[in-house]
A and B are shown apart, each in its own frame.
Chain A
Amino acid sequence: MMASPGQTVALVIFGILALGFGTAVFRTKSMVRSALALLGSMAAVGGLFFALEAEFLGVLQLMMMATEMTIMAIFMVMFMMDPGGLGQMEMTHQKRASLTAGVVSGLIAIGLSTLSSWAAVVAAAPTPSAQLHDLGIELMSRSMLIFETAGLAILLAMIVATTIALKAEEKR
């Protein structure tokens, strides 16, 4: 597929969706809506990956984020005193400093993106089936060590998380 105007339009639409849902995360008072707005943002990022022809990554992003963000919503309801956001409590601190930090970092990133001179955009990307095949070869040959380390890290995280989350009496 070529870098067509349709691709740019899809990119812009998904980008606006991702940014819109992202701001909704911190503007709503309801915790469950925050988590689901974050899911919307991450799903829009997954759609962005589809628009950028990284099909496998898009599918992975959609799948992982659905489960992760729903679990986040469930944790919200378990651990927060006011998951529905109906109590009008103020749940933020150092608002001005964090707003400044966010805006400054965003502006630096925007400045760097627009003012750097990038090389010419490559017009065509490999087809999704060729990408899948080559990514598999890459995983199994050159990046095997990285892959195995990531697998080990996930296993460690599973053991660690389960151990921390067990009640104290059960650890004996």
Chain B
Amino acid sequence: MSGLVLLLTVLAGVYLVAVLEEWSATGRLLLGTPVVAGLAQLSRESLVPRKPDRLLFETAPALLLVAALLAAAVLPLAPGLVAVDLATGALFVNAALAYVMVALVMAGWAPDAAYALIGGWRFLGQLIAYSMLIVMPLTAVAMRAQSLATTEIVTSQAALWNVLAQPLGFALFWLAAMALAFVPPFDLPVAPGELAGGVFAEYTGVRLAIVRLGRLVLVLTLALAVVVFFLGGWLGALLPGWGWTSLKTLGVAAVMLTVGRYVPRLSPDTLLAWAWKLGIPLALVNILWVGITLLTVQR
């Protein structure tokens, strides 16, 4: 029963994120956009490239969707409303999101096309940049909660949300989450102008619908992760737990989708240079800072 509730919640969330993405692109809030766009996509013809790696071509969109859903399964929406309450939840989110990279490399290789290959390989460069910046702020968050379980991480923020207690970690995790979801300005793998759609250029019809769905679930999952780990999850007055989670997640998703459109796309070497020369030292400073505050100040 609760599994069904969670699935419906994810679907509703995906619908609203799709509306938000349309709003961020055109500036108009049209609530019927996902239905219209989805039906239009499903009715388009499905072309397959001439000599694809058929197994990988079919698997990549499904793997993207499954990886994002698995990551969402360990994140709590309200006290008691979590699909799988793992004791190592925070680390499992990272593990599941690593398979997004596998899906994109598969999608880059499978269609036997140049732009797709370049897009997939560029995502590897992006992964090298963001993967440490995902894990290190999570380490600091787990230090404060003294547990890796996501429900414990939310309850540990009852006194003060992590965004205020660990602002540096929040900023790094936010940027790394944007890079993981390959939203602009980190949209190297699907660079619409430069690579003509990049990794997903050769996907059409039903498969493209699954790809788009997977990407929306990924954005939703990462927004939910930011909310759970840094913005206090379900904590807040007046509204019930799931109400606060929904509001915060949609707010984070809206900001993630809009901010990047005003910034030019980062080239791979700039991204890597900034991530490794600036980001990782800052993440280590964050861990040091959190350790010092935990040992000296009462939580």
- Determine whether the beta carbon of B106 is less than 8 Å from that of A59: no
- Residue B200 interfacial (CB < 8 Å): no
- Determine whether the beta carbon of A128 is less than 8 Å from that of B101: no
CA distance A56 to B91 in the complex (A): 8
Pick the interface stretch among B10-18, B92-100, B183-191, B281-289.
B92-100
Q: How far is the CB of A46 from the nearest CB of chain B, in Å?
A: 8
- Determine whether the beta carbon of A56 is less than 8 Å from that of B56: no
Given A63-B98, A74-B105, also A84-B53 (CB < 8 A): yes
Residues of B contacting A84 in the complex (Cβ-Cβ under 8 angstroms): 53, 112
Dominant SS among interface residues on chain B: helix
- Residue B259 interfacial (CB < 8 Å): no
- Residue A70 interfacial (CB < 8 Å): yes
| Cross-interface CB contact of A66 among B56, B91, B92, B102, cutoff 8 Å | B102
Residues of B contacting A128 in the complex (Cβ-Cβ under 8 angstroms): 86-88
Residues of A contacting B117 in the complex (Cβ-Cβ under 8 angstroms): 77
- Residue A88 interfacial (CB < 8 Å): no
Residues of B contacting A132 in the complex (Cβ-Cβ under 8 angstroms): 87-88, 147-148
Residues facing B in A107-142 (CB within 8 A) are 127-129, 131-132
- Residue A71 interfacial (CB < 8 Å): yes
| Cross-interface CB contact of B55 among A33, A69, A70, cutoff 8 Å | A33
Cβ contacts B100-122/A at 8 Å (1 or 0 each): 01100110010010000100010
Given A55-B86, A55-B88, A66-B102, also A74-B56 (CB < 8 A): no
Cβ contacts B147-178/A at 8 Å (1 or 0 each): 11100000000000000000000000000000
Residues of A contacting B99 in the complex (Cβ-Cβ under 8 angstroms): 66
Residues of A contacting B109 in the complex (Cβ-Cβ under 8 angstroms): 32, 73, 77
Number of B interface residues in the complex (CB < 8 A): 27
Which of B86, B109, B149 neighbours the largest number of chain A CB atoms within 10 Å of its CB?
A: B109
For residue B120, which residue of chain A has the nearest CB?
A74
CA distance A20 to B197 in the complex (A): 35
Q: How far is the CB of B234 from the nearest CB of chain A, in Å?
A: 21
- Determine whether the beta carbon of B56 is less than 8 Å from that of A59: no
CA distance A26 to B224 in the complex (A): 41
* Chain B residues packing against A (C-beta within 8 Å): 53, 55-56, 86-88, 91-92, 94-96, 98-99, 101-102, 105-106, 109, 112, 117, 121, 124, 127, 131, 147-149
What are 9 of the A-B contact pairs (CB < 8 Å)?
Answer: A33-B55, A36-B106, A55-B87, A56-B91, A66-B98, A67-B127, A67-B131, A69-B102, A129-B147
Q: Which A-B residue pairs are the 9 nearest by beta carbons?
A: A128-B87, A63-B95, A66-B98, A129-B87, A62-B95, A59-B91, A59-B88, A59-B95, A59-B92
Known: A59-B92, A63-B91, A129-B87. 18 other contacts (CB 8 A): A32-B56, A33-B55, A33-B56, A36-B106, A59-B95, A62-B98, A63-B95, A63-B98, A66-B99, A66-B101, A67-B101, A73-B105, A77-B117, A84-B53, A128-B87, A128-B88, A132-B147, A132-B148
